[in-house]
Structure formats: structure tokens, C-alpha cells
Structure 1
Amino acid sequence: MATDTTTQDSPDQNVNNDLTTKSPSFLKRFLPRSLLGRSLLIIITPLLLVQAISVWVFYDRHYETVTKRLAQGLAGDISMAILLLEKTETPYEQAHIFRLMQKTTDLSLTLHHDITLPPTAWTPDWSVLERRLDQAISEQMMKNFDFIHQYEIDTVSLADQVKIQIQLDSGVLLILVPSKRLFTSTTYLVILWMVGSSVITFGVAVIFMRNQVRPIQRLARAAESFGKGRDVKGFKPEGATEVRQASGAFIRMRSRIKRQVEQRTAMLAGVSHDLRTPLTRMKLQLAMAGQDEDIKNLQTDVIEMEQMINGYLAFARGEGREETVSCEITGLLRDLVDQLGQNNNPIDLHIEEDIVIQLRKESFKRAVSNLVTNAQRYAQHVMVCARKRKSASGYLLEITVDDDGPGIPPESRLDVLKPFFRLEQSRNQATGGVGLGLSIANDVISNHGGDLSLEDAPGGGLRARIILPF
């Protein structure tokens, strides 16, 4: 019985562990992980930066300069009106000046003799533009009216007008200024144009980048399907030149792998099949030769050779061209357990839920059968469990085969998955077969894009764990 609980992962599993368990840095946690998201981020970040700088420069330079000039003109008109009012002597002259200012400067003036401005001017909660406007008017008022010490500017009370009140010796001068004299529509037009162009640019970038990323996604799905042993139909190179090169390389690689597997399978099946003919003649000749001790030893050797050839053929069939089908795991495992438990020790089966997955049904059934048969050969109790697990990339099918046998030493667990490797070196077929059972199972699971690992069972013995992605 093995006592070391350390397991050895395959290189692919180590790579997946590195990709999924490595914690990202603080900044990378907030950045997109997809190629589309990162490509859009590369496009949008400089665009937003340029837009922000442009808005700041425009607001700080253009708007402030224009507002200053408009406020300067308004202050000049108000200064002229005050100087004219100081020279008037009759109400009729004041009214004439008010009409003249209304006609020439579009300013509405009213003089109130019975009120005074309060000591503290009203300071509403202005927006940024209104604060800038009030500041510009105040600066020009202070420059032009050295003799005025108290005034009030209200830019928010009236919808289309700015209200200015100035304390004079004769009373309070109320001035209503149209907003169009102080506000320029260029500000809003420029900002609207910049925001609109950004939105249009972003939309065009999303459309083009999605078209560029889609061929990469198809290539990834084709590679994943091929790694799981599924046939990739209708895949062709498309997209940018680099993506087409990668797709063409994938198609050529897939063709070479298929050709190599087919050639190796055909050679192994052909050799094994050709050996059966002389082997059958040898069995017939030995059966007619008698029953002495030497003949019995030769018959035993022939039987062992036949078992080896059957193992070679089973290994070759494991790499056949069986099509993938939708398979219900619960029914498959129950049929397998019922079949293998008839003439051997009973098998405990535990299934958490119904699982449907795309498989080469016969090949997968042969792989699980080899694991269960191997456990029955060395143990008294065998338990098979199946469940669905959730991972970062999707769902996984996990099947474990536990036994209470002597187990396999940790240093030999990778070797027993290799073809023709046996822990028992005597080559006696009764004590370990030809060394192809676990290698066939490992080969079938790998062709499905999964992983087969050998571990210590929780109750002692050996655990064979199958992990298959959905």
C-alpha cells in the first residue's frame, strides 16, 4: 500500500494551474482580460486623454477669453449708462436714457429710489460656468467703477437674463442683461461635437475590433474541440493576415497529427492482425502434436502471445476514428458496473447528478472499464464516483475509481501510464497483462482533452481520477 500522498500533475495541468491560480496584480484586477476589451482600452484611453486635454484647453483658454471680452463690453455699456444718468436732472431724461440703452445695447434699466442693497450680497450655489461668468463680470465692474462699492450679480434667478443691481447715490439701479450677451453657444457646440465624435469613434472601433477578434475566437474554439477529440467542421482561415497564418498552421498541424495517428494505428493493427494467422496455425499444430510437457509449455506461450496481440489490437482501436456523440454518464457507468460486477467483486457506484457530455462512447467506456478491471484484479472492494465540478473555464466531469488494493508507488505512477510498462517484470500474463490497460485509458482520456492521474485512495489503495472538460 502506498503511503505517500503526493501526486504528480501532468505538464498541461501544471500550466493550467499556473494560469488559474496565479493572483493578478492590483492594477490588472481592474483591467479587461479579453482581447476585445484590451484592444478597445488601447483605442479609447488615448482618445479620452486627448478629449480631456482638448476640453480643458478650450475651457481654460477659449471660454475664459470669450467670457472676459463679453463681460468687458457689458461693463462698458453699464458704465456709459451710469455716467449718462449722473448728468440727468429730470425723470424724462432718465426715461430717455433707459429707452436709448434698451434700443442700442439691449439692456433693460430701472432705477429704484426707495431701496438699498443689503450689506452682504447674495451668493447662490453656482455651477462652474456661472461662477466663471460672475467672476468675469465682477472683475470688469471693479475696473470700470472705482466709485462703486456695493453691487450684486445674479446669474441663476432668471432663466434668460442676468440681473445686476448697483447701489448709486440716488438709489439702486437694476439692470437686466439678456443671456445671449454673455453666453456663447460655441462652448456647447464644441463639447457636443467632441462627445459625439468620441461616441461615433467608439462605435466604429467596437464593430471593427469585434470583426478582428471573432476569427481568433473561432480558432480558439477549433483548437479546443480538436484537443477534446471532436471533429472540427467548417473551419477555414479568415481575418487579419496574422490570424490567417495561425489558422493555416493549425489546419496543417491537425492534418499531420491525424495522418500520423492513422498511420501508427494502421501499422499496429496490421501487424497485430497479420500475426494472428501464423499464431492460429501454431495453435492448430500444437493441438495435433500431443500432450507432453514441452507441448504444454508451447501452448502456454502461444496463449500469452494471443493475449498480447489482443491487447495491441485494443490499443489500436483506442485511436480509431469513432465519432463523438452526446452521452449520458449515469447510464453508461451503470451499464459498465453491472457488466463488470457479474463475475467479479461487486462495485459501489455513486453519482451526484445526471451529466450529459460529448464523448466517443465506446472508447471512453473501454477506458473506464480498464481502470475498473485493473482495480478488481488487485483489490476486494471497488468504488466508482462521478460528479460535476465548476472551474474558471467552465464545468468539469470528475470520475474516480477507488480500491483497497496494494496501490502503486508514487515514483511509478507516471511510468504505468506508458505503453508496455509493468510493475511486475516477470512478463507473466496472469500477474499483470501486457502493460497496455492503463496506457489505453490514459490515451483515450487525453484524446478527449482530459487528464488521468493516479493518487492514494482515502481508505488506502489506489485512486484513478479522470477529469474531462465539458
Structure 2
Amino acid sequence: MPLRSGMVKRFLPRSLLGRTLLIVLVPLVVVQAVALQIFYGSHLDVVSRRLSASVAGEIATTVELLQRLPGEADRAWVLQNAWEQYELAMRLLPDAVVPQGRRPGFLEPRNSGLVAALRDKVRRPFTIDWASDPLSVLIRVQLPDAVLEVEAPRKRLYAATFYVFVLWLVGSSLLVFGIATLFLRNQVRALSRLAGAAEAFGMGRDIGPIKPEGAAEVRQAAAAFNRMQERIRRFLQQRTEMLAGVSHDLRTPLTRLRLALAVMPSTEALRQDIADMTGDVEEMERMIGAYLAFARGEGTEQAQPTDLSAVLEDVVAGARRTGADVALRVPADLVLPLRPDAIRRAVTNLVDNACRHARHVALAAGRLGERLVQVTVDDDGPGIPPDRREDAFRPFESAAAGGTGLGLTIARDIVRAHGGDIMLEESPLGGLRARIQLPV
């Protein structure tokens, strides 16, 4: 059963439009097919038998008159009367013989009602030729001294309303299918726009409110999405303003402490204490700056086409100015939609972390298929055990060697805001590899 279910799913349309049209079309076709079978399956058979019986009766009457009136003038009158009364073109073929045992060809229709009616009413050897004339059926009846050839119009043997009904079924199905396609495309288009807006907002792109359109439920979802965007923007703005105020309030006493340390007499006994306190003040300032950057999340910057290669070159240049050994391998042109300052901060955090724990760092980037760009930061440091790599992304978990414990957290937050992700793996250099994947 699971295998059959899987096979059915493989052939089902994947899109909402395709599946909805299938739901509309399949019941429509089934209902019309059932109606065709029930109504015309019995009605057509009855009509066909009655039409065949009528033609067979007229031929039988003509045969009987030809037998009773053997004179040439009488026979001519009989044949003329058959044309005028029955609209059946008849002629006699003297000394001809009807071939016996002939079966209909493969493409010839088999009207069992006509065969049965001729056998019942005419009671003479006969043949039926469906192929010679596209408009008529040739019926040949054996008489004692001749063969009676009858051209019966096909319309007298079939009900034309059947074809009209079939045409109506097909036409109405196509009409309903076309109307459903136009209507459902508008509904699906509204859902696609809502999905695209949600994806763009999740990647940090400010697209503004979307226009509610489509069915009432879709409009309601679009309106709810707009309200959600506004609430999230307001929350981020309030959080950023609050933390900016806290940062300002904290930096004021830190500045006073720094000034106080600067004017203190640098005696031999106090020199080490002053240096330690100055280091503590600087560390507190770095922590405050990191906290504020984490809170902001670079949320006010808008995505734009950015040369990632140039951004990575700036990061490496900055690291080399501090004396770090960083190798760079990037293609000449790697343009994709990014928030340049945010992505620069994320890569800088990764490179700084690697430089603090290793002697050699390698930064590389390149395309990974048609939809992804990959950036790797490798080092030859001690690395992180596999069971602790995910914990390193938690705030304050990686605070060591002068760090604040927010570098990896901020980097992942920025990358995920771009629709990508960061993974920590074992590096070919022997240490740790930070692998960034960004959508194009």
C-alpha cells in the first residue's frame, strides 16, 4: 500500500493550481461519463434498433413488391416509389449473386441491430458494405433472379443527437476547465505573492506592506502579515533604541573611568593596577558594542546587489593590518543581493574568532550550483569537538581568549536573516571550518 501511494503521489501535480484543477476536472469528467453511459448507453441502443428496424422493414416491403410484380414496368415503379416514400436509392443487378460469408472489415462499424432486423424481416441472403460510401450504407439482398442494391443514408441508422451530446460534454468540460483555470490562477497568484513577501521579510528585505487580494481568506492572511510586519518593526526599533540608550548610559561612566585612569600618577606600584583596570574598561566597551550590534541585528540596512568578493577582500585586508596570516581565494565577480555591512560584520566575526585561536586562516568563496554561494573560513587551531559545535552559537558560550561570546551568535543571526545558514565542521587545515551558505 505505501508503494502504491508513493506511485500515485509521483503522478499528482505538485502545485496548488494543478491539484485544485484536478479536483475540479476529475469529478466533472466522471459525472459526465456516467451520464453519457447511463442515458445514451441505453437510449442510443434503443434508437439504433428502431431505426434499423424501420430501414429493414422498408427493404422487406420493397422486396415483397418486387416478387409480386415481376414486370419491368412494375419493378421500375416499385423502385421509384421506394425512393419517393423511403428515400432509399435502389436498383436491381440482374443475374448477380451476393457473396456469402463476407465479414465486415476491421475499420467497418458493426451494427448488430441492422443485421438482426434484416434477418428478421427480409429473410434472404444479404451483405452490408460500410466502407464503399462515406455517406451511405450499401445493402445487397439476393433475389431469385437478381440482386437488390440499396443505398441507405447513414443518418437513417444513427441518432445525430448522440454526437451533439458528446460535443456538448467535451465543450462544457473545456469551458469549465478554462474558467476554473483563470479563477484559480488569480487565487494562487495572491498566495504566491504572500509567500514571496514572507520569504523576503524573513531575509531582512523591507518590501513594505503587501496589497491584500484574492479570496477573503487570502486577504485576511495578507492583512495579518502586514500587521505582523509592523509589530516586528516596532519591536526591533524599540529594542534598539532602548539598548542604544543603555549603551550610552554605560559608556558615560566608562569614559569617566578611562579619564580618571589616564590622569592617575603612573607610579611603579600603581602601573600594573592601572593597566589591568584600563584593560577591564576596554573589555567592557567591547562588550557593550557587541551587545548593541547583536540587538540591532543590522535590521535597518536594506539588501542590494553586492560584490561579495570585494567585501571579503576588505575583511582580509583589515585582518592583515592587525598582523594576522589570512589567505584569500575568491572569484573575480561574485554579485548577489546582500546587506553589505551586515555580511561584512558576520565574516569579520568568523575571521577574528579563527585568528584568535589559530596561526593560519584561509578564507574562500565560490558558487555552489545555481542557487547558492558558499563562503568558508578555515583555520589550523584546536577546533571544537563535534558535540559542542552547535552550542558555540549560543550567546556567551564561546567567550574565551578576549571574546565576548557573541561573535558566532551575531554571525549566524545575520546569515540566517539573509536566508542562509552557518555550519561548523572539521577543517582541511586541521582546525575548524565555518561554512556559510547564502542564496543567490
TM-score by length of 2: 0.92
CA distance in 1, matches of 2:196, 2:313: 32
Match of 2:254 in 1: 279
Match of 2:112 in 1: 135
Match of 2:265 in 1: 290
Task: State the one-letter code of the partner of 2:131.
Answer: V
Q: 1:207 to 1:346 in 2, by over 3 A?
A: same
CA distance in 2, matches of 1:459, 1:295: 40
CA distance in 2, matches of 1:103, 1:349: 101
Does the aligned pair in 1 maintain the 2:99–2:127 contact within 8 Å? Answer: no
> Which deviations, in whole Å up to 9, do the C-alpha atoms of 1:101-137 show, x marking residues without a partner?
111111122222222122321522236xx32xx3221
Match of 1:235 in 2: 210
The Cα RMSD (Å) is 2.1
Task: State the one-letter code of the partner of 2:168.
Answer: W
* Match status 1:51 vs 2:29: no
Does the aligned pair in 2 maintain the 1:384–1:402 contact within 8 Å? Answer: yes
SS in structure 2 of the partner of residue 260 of structure 1? helix
| 1:147-226 paired onto structure 2 within 5 Å | 148=124, 150-226=125-201
SS in structure 2 of the partner of residue 213 of structure 1? helix
| 1:94-133 paired onto structure 2 within 5 Å | 94-126=75-107, 130-131=109-110
Does the aligned pair in 1 maintain the 2:309–2:331 contact within 8 Å? Answer: no
CA distance in 2, matches of 1:335, 1:308: 24
Q: 1:320 to 1:109 in 2, by over 3 A?
A: closer
Task: State the one-letter code of the partner of 1:422.
Answer: S
Further displaced range: 269-278 or 191-200: 269-278
| 1:54-73 paired onto structure 2 within 5 Å | 54-73=35-54
> Which deviations, in whole Å up to 9, do the C-alpha atoms of 1:391-422 show, x marking residues without a partner?
xxx71222121111111122322222122223
SS in structure 2 of the partner of residue 285 of structure 1? helix
Shift, 1:303, TM fit = 2.5
CA distance in 2, matches of 1:466, 1:377: 19
Match of 2:423 in 1: 453
SS in structure 2 of the partner of residue 176 of structure 1? strand
Shift, 1:221, TM fit = 0.5
CA distance in 1, matches of 2:416, 2:306: 18
Does the aligned pair in 1 maintain the 2:209–2:226 contact within 8 Å? Answer: no
Q: 1:344 to 1:52 in 2, by over 3 A?
A: farther
* Match status 1:407 vs 2:383: yes
CA distance in 1, matches of 2:299, 2:335: 22
CA distance in 2, matches of 1:319, 1:283: 29
Shift, 1:198, TM fit = 1.0
> Which deviations, in whole Å up to 9, do the C-alpha atoms of 1:365-385 show, x marking residues without a partner?
110111112112212222222
- Which runs of no fewer than 5 residues in structure 2 stay unpaired? none
Further displaced range: 346-355 or 326-335: 346-355
Match of 2:122 in 1: 145
Task: State the one-letter code of the partner of 2:102.
Answer: A
Q: 1:313 to 1:181 in 2, by over 3 A?
A: closer
Task: State the one-letter code of the partner of 1:81.
Answer: T
CA distance in 1, matches of 2:279, 2:307: 42
SS in structure 2 of the partner of residue 26 of structure 1? helix
SS in structure 2 of the partner of residue 374 of structure 1? helix
SS in structure 1 of the partner of residue 7 of structure 2? coil
> Which deviations, in whole Å up to 9, do the C-alpha atoms of 1:154-196 show, x marking residues without a partner?
1221021110011122121111112232233211111111111
Does the aligned pair in 1 maintain the 2:243–2:295 contact within 8 Å? Answer: yes
CA distance in 1, matches of 2:273, 2:355: 33
Task: State the one-letter code of the partner of 2:356.
Answer: R
CA distance in 1, matches of 2:394, 2:237: 20
Does the aligned pair in 1 maintain the 2:303–2:338 contact within 8 Å? Answer: yes
Does the aligned pair in 2 maintain the 1:353–1:387 contact within 8 Å? Answer: no
> Which deviations, in whole Å up to 9, do the C-alpha atoms of 1:19-76 show, x marking residues without a partner?
xxxx981111100111111111110010011122222234422222211111000010
Match of 1:19 in 2: none
Task: State the one-letter code of the partner of 1:111.
Answer: L
* Match status 1:372 vs 2:351: yes
Shift, 1:353, TM fit = 7.2
Does the aligned pair in 1 maintain the 2:59–2:122 contact within 8 Å? Answer: no
Q: 1:24 to 1:444 in 2, by over 3 A?
A: farther
Match of 1:269 in 2: 244
Does the aligned pair in 2 maintain the 1:265–1:319 contact within 8 Å? Answer: no
Further displaced range: 41-50 or 370-379: 370-379
Match of 1:337 in 2: 316
> Which deviations, in whole Å up to 9, do the C-alpha atoms of 1:443-464 show, x marking residues without a partner?
1112222211211123421111
CA distance in 1, matches of 2:323, 2:264: 36
Further displaced range: 303-312 or 45-54: 303-312
SS in structure 2 of the partner of residue 401 of structure 1? strand
Does the aligned pair in 1 maintain the 2:364–2:377 contact within 8 Å? Answer: yes
* Match status 1:74 vs 2:28: no
CA distance in 2, matches of 1:459, 1:302: 36
CA distance in 2, matches of 1:238, 1:125: 58
CA distance in 2, matches of 1:303, 1:102: 118
Further displaced range: 350-359 or 57-66: 350-359
Match of 2:414 in 1: 444
Q: 1:452 to 1:221 in 2, by over 3 A?
A: same
CA distance in 1, matches of 2:394, 2:210: 33
- Which runs of no fewer than 5 residues in structure 1 stay unpaired? 1-22, 425-430
